[in-house]
Amino acid sequence: MNIDLQAREIEPLRHTYAHVARYVGDDKPASRYQEAIFGAQPSANFHYRPTWDPTHEIFDASRSKVVLADWYALKDPRQFYYASWSMARARQQDAVESNFQFVESRGMVDKIPDALRHKAVQVLMPLRHAAWGANMNNASICAYGYGTAFTAPAMFHAMDNLGVAQYLTRLGLALDDPAVLDEGKAAWLNDAHWQQLRHCVEDTLVVKDPFELFVAQNLALDGLLYPLVYGSFVDDHVALQGGTAVAMLTAFMPEWHDESARWVDAVVKTAAAESEANRLQISAWVQAWTERAQAALAPVARLALGDAGGDALDEAAARLAERCRKAGVRG
Amino acid sequence: MSNVFIAFQHNEESRPVVDAIVADNPAAVVVRSPGLVKIDAPNRLQIRRATIEEQTGRPYDLQQLHVNLVTLSGHIDEDEDQLTLSWKH
């Protein structure tokens, strides 16, 4: 008896879920990102308004002054959904882990001049608290924002910020005694260099408009802080004076900032392009918060880089202004 | 004129590569069979790293595509930025 095996193609009746097909069409299979994002925002059949905010629905686009016909337009160019995000971060975690092993196995910390090591600890330890503020703010964007395309990556961003704070903690423990963590907190609370930044971070914690908070935290504050601290200070200053170990142990931060800046810019660009009113509103936020963040970071820049701090901060501001210009808002 | 082709396993990793090929090669024809995506193109087919990175918004190493590569035909010209199939020597 012969058995004839044949491959037979069965054309699926539908290529994706109906709620996804409404956005991307049903003519070809939707990507995992599209299936994770489109149509996932709860939008109907809420029985009661929340007791803590009776003027809004639980999920309510009107919490922001930015008006979009379709909040799913704020797509993430990185196309992160949980699996792709966590796999990308796992790879980066492996890289940082091997950097820590490299630095520890070769005693590279002992080769850093003491004054430089103290300076690095002095500048980087209080930033754990700034990263925690960024974590809180992005969690708030996720909670009060609208549209899964906008809120889901905000939650990833919140966890990334927690990761940054944890890397800073490990850096502190690698460079010095555990007491430096307490000293960093004391400096964050009391040292005059940090008070303006703390004031700025604490003011962002109570911003109600999720899109304003997004602009303040992710575009203005982080857009200045990361190039200043991890670019000008760690890579251009500390690393060149014998502190390569510090640059290796903070390698995640500038890499992550460059990657996530693409998402931040894309969100701002899409929202600003939707209407003139959006563009003016976002521009006003960008200007106000950039000014605020720049003033708050000036003492930190001086603490980190001395007289060169002002120039480094101006350079970071110029780069941020260029990002804003490309995104179509006035910086 | 004869075709070159390349086929990938049909999964999330190869999706941006296929999208990039379609964007860069207007003459390419995508055939989706179960578990497999085959792309035919007359004479020449180019895969560019920059286009894949535009699709994903993340850095991409062209060597990654070999993980999902099933088969291809054509002479290969490959470097860090592109992989080109053609019948030219």
Q: Which positions in chain B touch A262 (Cβ < 8 Å)?
A: 57
pLDDT, mean of residues A34-49 = 91
pLDDT, mean of residues A291-319 = 96
Q: Which positions in chain B touch A77 (Cβ < 8 Å)?
A: 57
* Nearest residue in B to A76, CA atom: B57
* Nearest residue in A to B56, CA atom: A78
**How many C-beta atoms surround the C-beta of residue A1 within 10 A?**
2
Number of domains present in the structure of chain B: 1
pLDDT, mean of residues A17-36 = 88
Q: Which helix (H) or strand (E) holds B85?
A: strand B82-86
Banded pLDDT at A15 (limits 50, 70, 90)? confident
Percent of chain A with pLDDT over 70: 100
Are B32 and A29 a contacting pair at CB < 8 A? Answer: yes
pLDDT, mean of residues A141-162 = 97
Q: Residue A187 has which token pair?
A: 């400096």
Which A residues, 58 through 97, put their C-beta within 8 Å of a C-beta on chain B? 76-79, 84, 88
Does B1 score more than 90 pLDDT? no
SS3 A106: coil
Give the pLDDT score at B59: 84
Smallest CA–CA separation between B75 and chain A, in Å? 29
Q: Residue B21 has which token pair?
A: 């090929």
Are A76 and B12 a contacting pair at CB < 8 A? Answer: no
Identify whether A11 is part of a domain. no
User: A38-47, A114-123, A150-159 — which is least confidently predicted?
Assistant: A38-47
Does A108 score more than 90 pLDDT? yes
Identify whether A243 is part of a domain. yes
> What's B50's domain CATH number?
3.90.56.10
Domain residue limits at A101: 95-327
Distance from C-alpha of B15 to C-alpha of B36, rounded to nearest angstrom: 11
Contact (CB, 8 A) for A75 and A41: no
Which one of B30, B33, B58 would you mutate to disrupt binding with A, by most A Cβ within 10 Å of its Cβ? B58
- Which residue in A31, A32, A77 is closest to B57 by CB distance? A77
Banded pLDDT at A249 (limits 50, 70, 90)? very high
Does A331 score more than 80 pLDDT? no
Does B89 score more than 80 pLDDT? no
Identify whether A182 is part of a domain. yes
Distance from C-alpha of A217 to C-alpha of A226, rounded to nearest angstrom: 12
Give the pLDDT score at A6: 80
Average pLDDT, chain A: 94
Identify whether A186 is part of a domain. yes
Distance from C-alpha of A235 to C-alpha of B47, rounded to nearest angstrom: 34
Does A13 score more than 90 pLDDT? no
Give the pLDDT score at A131: 97
Distance from C-alpha of A11 to C-alpha of A276, rounded to nearest angstrom: 45
**B interface with A, Cβ–Cβ below 8 Å:** 12, 15, 32-34, 55-58
Are B56 and A262 a contacting pair at CB < 8 A? Answer: no
Q: Residue A254 has which token pair?
A: 């500038």
Does A9 score more than 90 pLDDT? no
Are A84 and B32 a contacting pair at CB < 8 A? Answer: no
**pLDDT for A258-269, tens place per residue?**
999 999 999 999
* A21-52 residues labelled b (16+ CB within 10 A) or e (exposed): bebbebeebbbbbbbbbbbbbeeeeeeeeeee
Identify whether A15 is part of a domain. no
Q: What is the pTM of this model?
A: 0.89
Identify whether A242 is part of a domain. yes
Contact (CB, 8 A) for A111 and A242: yes
Distance from C-alpha of B86 to C-alpha of B88, rounded to nearest angstrom: 6
Are B15 and A31 a contacting pair at CB < 8 A? Answer: yes
Q: What is the dihedral of CA B57, B58, B59, B61, to 10 degrees?
A: -100
Identify whether A301 is part of a domain. yes
Give the pLDDT score at B32: 85
Give the pLDDT score at A309: 94
Give the pLDDT score at B35: 85
**How many C-beta atoms surround the C-beta of residue B41 within 10 A?**
23
Domain residue limits at B54: 3-86
Are A9 and B34 a contacting pair at CB < 8 A? Answer: yes
Give the pLDDT score at A60: 93
- Which residue in A9, A29, A79 is closest to B56 by CB distance? A79
**pLDDT for B34-82, tens place per residue?**
889 999 999 999 999 999 988 887 788 999 999 999 999 999 999 999 9
Number of domains present in the structure of chain A: 1
What residues contact B40, with CB distance under 8 A and at least 6 apart? B3, B4, B5, B28, B29, B31
Which one of A24, A79, A92, A258 would you mutate to disrupt binding with B, by most B Cβ within 10 Å of its Cβ? A79
Does A130 score more than 90 pLDDT? yes
Are B57 and A84 a contacting pair at CB < 8 A? Answer: no
> What's A314's domain CATH number?
1.10.620.20
**How many C-beta atoms surround the C-beta of residue A74 within 10 A?**
27
Identify whether A167 is part of a domain. yes
